[in-house]
Each structure stands twice: as structure tokens, then as C-alpha cells.
Structure 1
Amino acid sequence: MSGEVMSGLALAEAFYTRAVAPLVAVPHAACLLGEGSEVLGFDTSQSRDHEWGPRVQIFVDTAHVDTVRARMRHLPPVFEGFDTAWFSLATGTVTHHVHVTTLDEWVTEALGLDPRKGMDAAAWLGLPQQRLLHVTAGRVFHDDDGELTRVRRLLTWYPDDVWAWMMLSGWHLIGNTEPMRGRCIETGDLLGERLLTARLCRLIMELTFLQERHYWPYDKWFGAAFARRNAAATLSKMLEQALTGKEPDATIALRDAVTWLGHHHNTLGVGVQVAPRYGPFEVGINNAVRPYETANAGDYVQALRESITNDTLRNLIQVGSIDQLTHSDDAIVTHTDWAARFRHEYRDAITRSAHE
């Protein structure tokens, strides 16, 4: 296969099969997981300007780590036209990129926890979805004892209560944003309206990922990953119209998109059926009603809340997961303890909710 057309995942699998596997010679798992556009299947020729090339992770028992690492000195210098030793951000040197370690160590480093020890709601809510993709995306090439496969299965998707709470949080955010956009249109605040239009489009896309049970990646690949969702065939044109069209076409497109999400909610089997509808915005104070139409987002919030069996999570204020609260850039995903700190905050909030 030509190096010009080979994807990173295909290169990694060939590299493992033909160059790495013959050197391992002990029970192991092999994969390409973790960071990198190729793990998500989004790599292009531009991806090759850094941290791209023949690479693979090898997981072995602790007793075999040093021996297998030493054997990697016998890797070929070139594979499929690519150097097997290249600059490593992790070591700051030019070296091969066969990462030999234990599964326990790698998983804990990738997630900040080991899911085999159990995960409460706070652990799920404080984990950026990009980190979950670090473990669940990519490809496993070999798994002697099946333990790596088991870890990936544990992380396939959120528990039902957490999933419902994240979806109700998504509906809550849509319900809060729609009337603000209507107010901006009413007052002639074009810039504000455009910002809120973009926010609504983002929230609609996020809810689509949740409804389809698929983790969303960080912003660089968010739109590309959305294009792979089943709903994109219908929603993409609506969202493009909302972002580029003039009034009233933009508002109509947003209304159509939210209504479509409402209908799709009714196919999920989570909570009671809710009929999508639009009507004047009810402020909720002094019986005030404002003359811009908004969806019945609150009905979906209530239906989803009633489906949650965990009392403390059901009563938690609907701020959403870490990815619904903030942008998961590198500082949140990989380079700081912020994700762990969020987990502690969620756990504290859930504990306080249980005593209120």
C-alpha cells in the first residue's frame, strides 16, 4: 500500500503486524488509541507534520515491560516509506513510537481513573468526551486476554441516568438560548443574534450526538464528526440555513431543527413521549408573555428528569457535563488536573443534593 494514501490507522496496523508483533513474543494487547487525528479517522496529509507515523501501543504484564521495550531496538529504521524514529513530544528526542507499558498504567494515564474499579455519576460527568474517545475510538489489533476490549466496552456509553441528565441539560440550554435570540432580533442587535444563532446550532449538534449515543470530539473535529451522524443528512441543511440565511429564514430553520430533535427524542425510549410545539415565550414571572416563539424545551426536560431513577442526580441543577459547561481544549483534556477537579465538584454537588 502506498504511503501517500495510507491512513494512520492502516499504517499502525500494518506496522504492528509486520514489524512489531514478531518482536513482542509474550501475551499482550496491541492498538492505536489515545491522541491524534488518525485515532478518530480524520488524518490527512497535513496531519503528517507532527506526531504522525508508524506507532502503536503494546500492553504487557509488568514483568515483561522492560524486556519488550528492549526488543524494540530491533525495529526497522523505515516502514512503508516512513521513518520509524521521529521526534517525540513526550521525550523531547527522536525515538521510535512503540509505547510499551501495562494496560493499568495506560488507562489510568489516559482517563485519570480506571473504569474497572467502578464509575459513579460524578466520574462520568467529569470526563471530557475527547478523553473517552482516546480509549473507545482507534483500533485494537490484538488482545490476548480480552482485558483491553473489556475496558473499551465499559466505556461504550453513559449509564442511562447520566445520559438522560445530560440530554435534559441540553434541552434546558436550548430553552434558555432561544428567547435570548428572539430578544436580540426584537431590539435589532444583529451581532448578538448571530452569536446566539451559532450557540443554538452548537447546542442542537451536541444534543444530536447525545441522542445518537456517540461521544463528540473537541472543536477541531466537532463538525467533521457531526457530519458522520445519521441526523446530519437532515439537520445540516437546516443549520447551514440558520447560520447563513436572513430573517425569517434563519429562525424557521432553527425551529425546524429543534422540532426534528423533539420528534427524534420520542424514538429513544427514554421518558414519556412529548409532542413538539412552538409558542410565544412565557417568561415565568408575573404571567409575562413575549412575542417570539420558542420550543417547549421544558417539557423534554421534565420528561427526561422523571425517567431518572437516581434521586440525587434527578434533583441536580441541569448544568450538564464538563463538555456542556466548558470547552474541552488541551488544558481540560490532557495537560492539567482540571478534569479531575470537575469530578470532585460534581461529586460534591451530588452529595449536597442528596441531603437537601
Structure 2
Amino acid sequence: MSFIKGIELCRRFHTEVVEPLMMEDYHHLSYSSALVGPGSEVLGYDTEMSTDHDWGPRVYLFLDQQIIDEYAEQIQASLQERAPERLYGFQLDIRRIVITTVPGFIESILAISRAEPIEPLDWLTFPSQSLLEITRGAVYRDDHGQLAKMREKFEYYPHDIWLYLMASCWQRIGQEEHLMLRSGFMGDELGSALIASRLVRDIMNLGFLMERHYAPYPKWFGTAFKHLKCSGELMPHLWKAQTASAWREREHAFHKVYEHLSRMHNELNITENIAKDVSYFYDRPFKVMNGEGIARRLADQIINTDLHQLAGQRLIGSIDLITDNTDFRTMKYARNELKALFKSAIRD
């Protein structure tokens, strides 16, 4: 049995099993079919190792609610009766076919209903991995273009959100870059290395933002970063900063990183050009990128009133920057409480 990437296997499942059944028994129904939602195969990063759990032929079937109410059980029963047990050697579990509406799918991923307009602060409550679960994968059929509209709607952050998130990343860099050097200067190489790792992650996040790509969850974070245009230039220096045994080596590696980041920032043409070189941190014997100054330039470009106020009070970023706790980030229905946190920060 040869391994087949999940996107291709699910395409064959749709083409060879789902589509013929729907055309024969339910040809009068409009529907859409896609591989979306959670799973390494949606991101295209699945390998043979992925097949040991939660992997196999599957699709989401999208229908109108009225059609679901009338036909969902019949469709499931038809698939159960007529689908093969295996497809290209892989076990086929009909229970993994999800029949839902487009609004129902969005609510299951983002916990936001059709009746609820998406406000700017809502975007800060959406994990970037969840946005990937909507916009990545593959669409196999799309009657009436519902999936195309959904994916276009969430294709990327609105402009002011994008500015706010980049400003928040730079703020985090500015708040900790000198701490890495100070702890190293005091002989705390372990503490310095730990802060360096945090900075590496923030810089990688910034790379995703600068190139307008959603960042996946930790398992595929580094893999996806390698596909960014900036990775070839940044990776050697980030790896050096990550693995250096002495703080001066880390300092030098981050200086090289900043050379590339400053050029990338200036090429975006969203603020006045920033300096291409690092500068001394006050009178101390080490140099920094001055991330907080860059953050302020970006924040000043934000037009939306709420976001502009939030940026003036707290550059705390989205849920991804606030916490890396998996259980918290997957508590979708705590989104309103998180949104309230941002609103309270505006009022501070």
C-alpha cells in the first residue's frame, strides 16, 4: 500500500465515491464538498506517520439547512451502504464524513454565528490555526460558490488587524531583546538562551505576518516557516541565535536578523523607513533592534478607532501572542470572554 497525500486521497474519495452517489440518488440537490477543518493533511504536511490516527478518506459535505433536515440521514445511510470498506488500501470510515452548512462550519471553527457581524476585535480572538482550517485544504465541488465566498472572507486579516499584529510582535521583541543581553552579561547564559528562544519565535511570527500568511500551530510552525520567502535569509541566523552557547554570539546573530527584517519592513512601504542598523541600548555595552519604536510607527498607521485605542493602551496582539496554551486556544466558546479582555484594555 503506497502512501497518498491526504488532499489527493480525499479528492479521489469525492470523485469516485461521493460524487457518483450524489449524482445518482440526489442529483437534484446542490451541495459543496471539501477537505477543510483540522488535520495535518489539510495543511498538506501529512506523511506516512500521519496515518496512525485521525487520518483517512473524508470530506465535509455542505448543504443548506433545509436540505440537511430532509436528506442528511438518507445520504449518510446511502454512503454507509454503498461505500467500499477501503479506498486505495486505506480504511474508510463513513462517520468521518461531516454534513453541515457553511455557517455551521464557521461556527464550529471560530465560534461566531451568521447573525453576529465580525468586528475588528473578533479577529484577535481567532487562532491563526483556525483560520488556516478554513482557508487551506481543497475544495472539490462548490455549487453556488459558497465555499469560495467563505474562503475569500477569511483569506487574511483586515489591514488594520495586520498592522496591529505586526506592531504587537515588534513590541514583544523590543521588550525582551535587551533582557537577553542583560542576563547574558550577568553570566546567566541559560536565562539568556531562554529569552533568545522566545525572540526567535516572535521573529518567525513576524515573518509570517510580513508575508501575509497565517501561522500554523506548533507542530508545523517551523515547517511552514521554511516555505516563506524570508526563510532562506533568516533561518541560518535564527538557528545560530537558538543554538549559541554565549550571549555575544546570540547578539551578533540577531543583528544579522535585523538587517533582513529592516529591509523587509521598508519594502512594505507602510511607515517611514526604519534604520538598517542596530543601535546601543542606552549606555549599555550591547545593541538592539529597538522593536518598541518600530511598533509605535506601525500602531500610528491604524485607522480603526477601537484598534487605534487598543494599540495606544496595550499592544498585546491576538490570542496567539497572548498564550501558547493549547487547551486555552481551543476553547472556542470562550471567545466572548477574550473579546471582553480586549475591550477592557481599550478602556484602561
Provide the TM-score with structure 1 as the length reference.
0.89
1:273 matched to 2:273: yes
Aligned equivalent of 1:75, options 60, 67, 83:
83
Q: Describe the shift of the 1:140–1:319 C-alpha distance in structure 2 as closer, same or farther (beyond 3 A).
A: same
Aligned equivalent of 1:42, options 23, 45, 48:
45
8 Å CA contact retained: 1:72, 1:98? no
Aligned residue for 1:343, secondary structure, equals helix
Letter in 1 for 2:300: E
Please list, as runs of the form range in 1=range in 2, the aligned pairs for 1:241-280 lying within 5 A after superposition.
Answer: 241-247=240-246, 248-280=248-280
Letter in 1 for 2:318: S
1:295 matched to 2:289: yes
Aligned residue for 1:307, secondary structure, equals coil
Moved more, 98-107 or 192-201: 98-107
1:345 matched to 2:341: yes
**Percent sequence identity over aligned pairs:** 34
Aligned-residue CA RMSD (Å): 1.8
Per-residue Cα deviation, 1:175-201 (whole angstroms, up to 9, x for no partner) = 111110111111000110110111111
8 Å CA contact retained: 2:302, 2:308? yes
Give aligned pairs, total.
334
Aligned residue for 1:274, secondary structure, equals coil
Gaps in structure 2 of 5+ consecutive residues:
none
8 Å CA contact retained: 1:28, 1:58? yes
1:240 matched to 2:247: no
Report deviation, 1:260.
1.2
Q: Matches of 2:332 and 2:114 in 1, distance apart?
A: 20
In the alignment, which residue of structure 2 is the partner of 1:304?
Answer: 298
In the alignment, which residue of structure 2 is the partner of 1:17?
Answer: 15
Report deviation, 1:117.
5.0
In the alignment, which residue of structure 2 is the partner of 1:54?
Answer: 57
In the alignment, which residue of structure 1 is the partner of 2:330?
Answer: 334
Gaps in structure 1 of 5+ consecutive residues:
86-94, 283-288
Q: Matches of 1:117 and 1:51 in 2, distance apart?
A: 32
8 Å CA contact retained: 2:175, 2:292? no
Structure with higher helix content: 2
Q: Matches of 1:231 and 1:116 in 2, distance apart?
A: 40
Q: Matches of 2:114 and 2:272 in 1, distance apart?
A: 31
Q: Matches of 2:77 and 2:290 in 1, distance apart?
A: 62
Provide the TM-score with structure 2 as the length reference.
0.91
1:135 matched to 2:134: yes
In the alignment, which residue of structure 1 is the partner of 2:204?
Answer: 205
Aligned residue for 1:195, secondary structure, equals helix
Q: Matches of 1:43 and 1:291 in 2, distance apart?
A: 47
Report deviation, 1:302.
2.2
